[in-house]
Structure 1
Amino acid sequence: MMRLLAHRRATSIALATLFMAGCTTFSKDGGFNTVSLTASERLGKDVVYVKTDEDREAVFRRTQELLSKPLGMDEAVQVALLNNRGLQASYGELGISEADLVQAGRLPNPGFTFSRTHWSDGFGISRTFSMGVLAILTLPVATHIESQRFEQTRLETANAMLAVAADTRKAYVSAVAAEQAAVYAAQVKDSAEAGAELALRMRQAGNFSKLDYAREQAFYAESVAEVAKATQQSVSAREKLTRMMGLWGSGTQFKLPERLPDLPNDRPQLNDLEGFAMRNRLDIQAAKQRTQSVASSLGLSKATRFINALDVGYLNNFETDKGHERGYEISVEIPIFDWGSAKVARAEAIYMQSANRLAQTAIDARSEVRESYSAYVTSYDVARHYRDEVVPVRKTISDEMLLRYNGMLASVFELLADSREQVAAVNGYIDALKDFWLAETDLQQSLGGRLPPLAMTRAPEAPRSDATDAPAPQTPSAPAQESPLSAPTMQPASPTNSKGE
């Protein structure tokens, strides 16, 4: 009797466990909490899964607030995380994966069969209730496998969010740099136009050689082409940023600052970056989850290789000459032709494929860290060299040339030649600064969306000195027509800084 009670109790507990497993429900956050925490901890940003009109209205108000002033890099990333429709579409993977998890955790529906037959002197009624026993027995394992896949999906979705943030940062840097270069190209073109006009007047007066005149005209013609090219590049870069931020209509009228952020005074020393990336990168964590899920699936395939279907049914039949017949039936596939070896081999191949992909992901991640760190260091050193060496020297040369011109010791065309040489230095610094911010973004992305914690805090920047200001191209005043030989009076223009302000 005691053994019978214990057996019944164990059976009741098992049935209760299966019943609870079969009542799996959807979570309140739908797995979005992983994405939200990742955005908050690694980016310091908010993310919203827009599902309702209230969500849409809240996102609109926040976006309008961010766009009401010149857009900074962090603000651009925040706008993209709120409005990028591709990112919103990727959030749908969470709902799909969670639905698979809930479905895997629910008991299969029972089957019912009813039939009624007639013969000459009577009739028969057959009623059968059946249940897939194998599906019930494998329910806990199947639920565990789907929970691993759901965790993998959450990590992949969070990683997709980080990728959108990084792409937005790079689009922002390119857009600001392109606008800055376009503004400077227009300044160069104005200077070249004035020089060409001056050369034309002196040529008409017979005081300028054909060769020198052609040089000035060529420089002006080239500067016009450079303005057109720089303007188109600015439009293209701005539109790419607009797409990343998911803006349209009036939202595309956002304002960008006139220059890129300043180069940090110090470059932090970063150590053990490969180890940090292995612990921090979400794509590696997702690949681990995928491999674990496949391993669990392989175990299930081996456990069920001989039995693909096992159904148990309750019978309740009635015939007029026999009365009621009650009993049960068991339906089992007999492994005569298919012993499940193909299913197991397939699972093993999928596992080896997943394991090798995980290893390749880790190898690629380590290589990306080394490559991006090298680019980060090099781009910082180049930008600092332009800031501390090239641009100050060019400014000194420009100031000295202007003094000599005002003292009648240098001709206007020597001043124009110096202006042409300034162009390469200023454009070089703009490109170097852009390359640094792009390299820092690539490094952050290779490390999982952020730099190591100790590198997140930089030393405060010192006030900008005049040595970091790049000279603007000098625009000569055209001489009066009646006095072609006199040197034009040139007032020193306000120098722009190294970023074109």
Structure 2
Amino acid sequence: MAFLKMTIAALPFALGACAATIPAGITTPGAGFGLVASKTQVATGKRSVWLQNASQAQQVARDVHAMTHRKTISADTAVQVALFNNRGLQASYAAIGLSAAEVWQQATPENPIVSVGLLGIGAPELGLFRALESVVAVNLLDAPTRKRRVAVAQADYQRAQMQAVVDTLSLAAQTRTAWIDAVAAFETVALLNEASKTADASSELAARLGQTGALNRAG
């Protein structure tokens, strides 16, 4: 019986040794997005937002309206609006949250349930011994694989963060390029319209001079 009591007392320590440490920041709201937001803001000077509720979405909508309503859209404004409204970016940011949840799940061991039964007349401890043996065996077998699973999940988590950074910077660059192309095309059209007006005015002047005979005399 004394050995039985010692075994029960040592059980929490044995099971606790099998637990993996949950990485810092995994369980915080918006886990992992802070890194993406800071890196992309340094590179672009613009804010990135991971929309996780209706309140955030409404605030972003108000911000976009304030930036664009009855205003000339600059390249900076176009980039900021694109970062706020792009659904592809939101999917990329959500992937960070999913990968963070996977890290947490892999790092958190299942809570063992010890069930004690009377397996045998005159030997009530037998059921407890078997239950303890089963619980400890399962946790000891799970511990080595858990460490590897956590490492894989953390690698996926970091990969999701870097992919979100790349996606954000790519969208910012593409938006700026598109804005420059649009402005260049607009200016080209304006120049062509001006040239067309000048040509039309010259033709009209030539026609009038021709009617008066002044053009022929000048020739």
TM range (shorter): 0.7 to 0.9
* In structure 2, distance between residues paired with 1:159 and 1:47: 13
* Structure-2 residue corresponding to 1:354: none
In structure 2, relative to structure 1, the CA distance for the partners of 1:166 and 1:22 (3 Å cut) is: closer
In structure 2, relative to structure 1, the CA distance for the partners of 1:13 and 1:159 (3 Å cut) is: farther
* In structure 2, distance between residues paired with 1:10 and 1:137: 20
Identity of aligned residues (%): 28
The counterpart of 1:98, out of the listed 87, 97, 100, is 100
* In structure 2, distance between residues paired with 1:96 and 1:47: 18
* In structure 1, distance between residues paired with 2:29 and 2:160: 17
Give runs of aligned pairs for residues 296-445 of structure 1, distance below 5 A: none
Shift of 1:12: 5.2
* Structure-1 residue corresponding to 2:50: 49
In structure 2, relative to structure 1, the CA distance for the partners of 1:178 and 1:22 (3 Å cut) is: closer
* Structure-2 residue corresponding to 1:16: 16
Answer whether contact 2:19 2:107 (CA < 8 A) is retained: no
Give runs of aligned pairs for residues 151-300 of structure 1, distance below 5 A: 151-199=158-206, 201=207
* Structure-1 residue corresponding to 2:79: 77
* In structure 2, distance between residues paired with 1:169 and 1:90: 20
* In structure 2, distance between residues paired with 1:16 and 1:135: 12
Deviations 1:378-408 (A, max 9, x none): xxxxxxxxxxxxxxxxxxxxxxxxxxxxxxx
Matched, 1:59 2:70: no
* Structure-2 residue corresponding to 1:87: 89
* Structure-2 residue corresponding to 1:140: 147
2:103 is matched by which residue type in structure 1?
Answer: L
1:485 is matched by which residue type in structure 2?
Answer: A
* In structure 2, distance between residues paired with 1:67 and 1:28: 30
SS at 1:27's partner residue? Answer: coil
In structure 2, relative to structure 1, the CA distance for the partners of 1:22 and 1:171 (3 Å cut) is: closer
SS at 1:48's partner residue? Answer: coil
Shift of 1:16: 2.3
Structure having the higher strand fraction is: 1
In structure 2, runs of 5+ residues without a counterpart are: 1-6, 116-126
Deviations 1:274-319 (A, max 9, x none): xxxxxxxxxxxxxxxxxxxxxxxxxxxxxxxxxxxxxxxxxxxxxx
Q: Which has the larger radius of gyration?
A: 1
2:214 is matched by which residue type in structure 1?
Answer: L
Q: Indicate the RMSD between aligned Cα atoms, in angstroms.
A: 3.4
* In structure 1, distance between residues paired with 2:64 and 2:184: 23
SS at 2:93's partner residue? Answer: helix
In structure 2, relative to structure 1, the CA distance for the partners of 1:23 and 1:93 (3 Å cut) is: closer
* Structure-2 residue corresponding to 1:337: none
* Structure-2 residue corresponding to 1:485: 214
In structure 2, relative to structure 1, the CA distance for the partners of 1:485 and 1:26 (3 Å cut) is: same
Shift of 1:9: 9.8
With the length of structure 1 as denominator, give the TM-score of the two structures: 0.34
SS at 1:138's partner residue? Answer: helix
In structure 2, relative to structure 1, the CA distance for the partners of 1:14 and 1:142 (3 Å cut) is: farther
* In structure 2, distance between residues paired with 1:23 and 1:167: 35
In structure 2, relative to structure 1, the CA distance for the partners of 1:23 and 1:480 (3 Å cut) is: closer
* In structure 2, distance between residues paired with 1:66 and 1:22: 41
Shift of 1:162: 0.5
Structure having the higher helix fraction is: 2
* In structure 2, distance between residues paired with 1:78 and 1:23: 32
Answer whether contact 2:92 2:163 (CA < 8 A) is retained: no
In structure 1, runs of 5+ residues without a counterpart are: 1-6, 114-125, 202-477, 488-501
In structure 2, relative to structure 1, the CA distance for the partners of 1:57 and 1:22 (3 Å cut) is: closer
In structure 2, relative to structure 1, the CA distance for the partners of 1:480 and 1:135 (3 Å cut) is: same
Answer whether contact 2:92 2:160 (CA < 8 A) is retained: no
